């Protein structure tokens, strides 16, 4: 997977990025991890055109928490989940 990320909007509590090469799977995973964060006021994503390989991820935070920090933490949680899934899958496949 070859991803390219471009910042579309950045303020003290809002961040909108375009992710080229990521579809619903990656964006939905990141959105769900963002929404688990109590400092996140709003998180979502959109795929502007069905024929496009680009998605837009949006996050708005509360208080003094920077949206970049919330996004980094959400991605770290997603990575950890992916590793855990991989380990459990390997265990399950060895038993079969």
Q: Looking up tokens 């390997």, which residue turns up? A: 90
Q: Which long-range contacts (CB under 8 A, 24 or more apart) does 86-95 make?
A: none
Cα dist. 25→22, 30, 79, 92 in Å?
Answer: 8, 9, 13, 23
Which pLDDT tens digit goes with each residue over 20-74? 988 888 899 999 999 999 999 999 999 988 777 899 999 999 989 999 999 999 9
Quote the pTM value: 0.87
More confident residue, 23 or 4: 4
Is the confidence at residue 1, as pLDDT, over 90? no
CATH topology of domain 4-95: Gyrase A; domain 2 (3.30.1360)
């Amino acid at each position: 997977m070859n991803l390219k990320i471009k910042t579309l909007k950045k303020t003290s509590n809002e961040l909108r990025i375009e992710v080229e090469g990521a579809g619903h799977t990656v964006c939905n995973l990141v959105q769900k991890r963002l929404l688990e964060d109590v400092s996140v006021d709003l998180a979502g994503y959109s795929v502007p055109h069905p024929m496009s390989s680009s998605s837009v991820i949006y996050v708005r935070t509360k208080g003094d928490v920077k949206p970049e920090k919330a996004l980094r933490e959400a991605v770290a949680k997603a990575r950890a989940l992916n590793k855990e899934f991989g380990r459990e899958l390997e265990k399950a496949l060895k038993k079969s």
